[in-house]
Structure 1
Amino acid sequence: MDFDPDEKRIEGTQEVIIKNTEMVELTELYFHLYPNAFKTPDAAPFPKTEFASAYPDGFSPGYINIKKVTGVSGPLEYEVEDTILKVVLDKPLKPQQQIKLTLEFTEVIPPSYGRFGYGQNTYNIANWYPILAVYDENGWNKDPYYAVGDPFYSDVGLYEVKIKAPKEYTIAAGGSLSDKKQDGAYNIWTFKTGLVRDFAWVAGSKFQTASDMVDGVKITSFYMKEDAVYGKKALEYAKKAIKFYSEYFAKYPYKEYTVAASDFYIGGMEYPNLVMIGRQFYNDGDLLEYVVVHETAHQWWVRPCGQQRSEGALVG
């Protein structure tokens, strides 16, 4: 995957292996295309009262274009309707069989201070690739990208993600960094995960980092140079939270955990192995602690009923 911050674009190729664990044959597959929710002001997944905060520099569209879908035997027919991609299989996928698909896409990153977008310091890249919809007792779950709460319902999977980015950029991501190599003016970052529900990352050209270990887990805080004092406090808050929750909930199941300062007006948002923390909190130790500890808890528990507000902060 190629990340071009100057053009605000991503060029990606995704290979996905899908196993039919249901008791019925599948003749088509559905994927969520969440970036298409950012195409128009009316569709953008933000409450209208918060639109100015989500787009402080004004609205510009973001979206994903599917260029090609290929199966083992060649190109497959597909249709795109808003945030849903329908792929028609050339033959039914029977129970317990698996299929490998290759999806080629390009996307434009919007100037949004949300889960998918960019600000003055960071690119927040979440819910960004074609995500297989869940098939369950209700059939295919094709919920749109709601403005309030979490519409994301995903199966778990193993991810290996390669990100080619200009070498002045640092990538904070879910999973573990397994390789980083230079390719001219670029670096190629390779991340691998355990079983997770999705994969998110944050890119910035001004990031500094601080890391430490707690109970066998490597914890890393990404922050801006001018926020170093609070960036290191964020690390300490995350360490204490991981240790506490590992004792009271269950042992943290992954080897790494990342806290990334972000241009993120909502406050904080959790993803597997990674949380985004709004940079506006890196000047208040008490509030920063609250948001980091809250988001860390979501590594175990997903909120049942959307977002909540506290002390002026909107946290996921």
Structure 2
Amino acid sequence: MPGFTPGEKVNGHRYVEKAFENGAAATVWVMGEPNPPKDVPVLFVEDSEIALQEMAHEDTEIAVLEMGMSGFGEIEFLSKLARPHYAVITNIGEAHLQDLGSREGIAKAKFEIIKGLDEHGVLFYDGDEPLLQNIVGKEPNLNVESFGFNEDNSLVASNIVTTEKGSQFTVRGELNGEFFIPVLGEHQVKNALNAMLISKSLGLRDDQIHFGIEQAKLTDMRMQVIQSSSGILFINDAYNAAPTSMAAAIQFIQTTHMRSEKWLVLGDMLELGENERQFHEELASVIDESKITK
């Protein structure tokens, strides 16, 4: 059972339609939640967490659980409740700064995921993140696997080439070879490494992993490619923007050769705490005006 610590709160009901498209047989749906799916098996419940606990059986093979939080102690509670065999920390961004005070605080809160980790469980983490490297170094008995772009990771990606169709990259380490994801951006390649590494640990064959990541599809407003009838290419990455994700999107736009004329349209970043203005000003330094048309 993998557990994840993303950087934003998500309503799981929004993923149900895509789950059915990918072969799901039924869904749990909280009563009162609008727009339940039609013509598919739906189990209406008062509390999805309690319902899923009651439905869990020994013949269940894999459950992927997202563990969100807004303060200290929340992920520890969820981890001890789930008792995951695998735990994943995807990154340390700036979401939750308003509640946790600093990126160090966010790293500490996310690392609570090991509190309920199975005795023989494994933590998968972004090995390029110094804050995580520092915390992991203080846990010598913890089983860990890392992913990233630095050579000392368990799984390393390099030679990233992006077109309008997606990203091609080379992988070395626990897997080796050329891989493709139909998603834009180096930061999304790193997310793919995470999925590939845990899939390998779960016993999937290399060809299964190849096929699986080639089918990847993000939800709307996450590096979403929109081709207009006039030939203009829009990339919508507006979902719950934070400094780290916005900087990654800007870097992608500045380095891509998909179009010669490039415009940036940036909105406000919210819930950044007392240093909100500073984060917006620092983001301006990421923009290279020589690589952006407007």
| Same fold (TM > 0.5) | no
With normalisation by structure 2, the TM-score equals 0.31
More strand, by proportion = 1
More helix, by proportion = 2
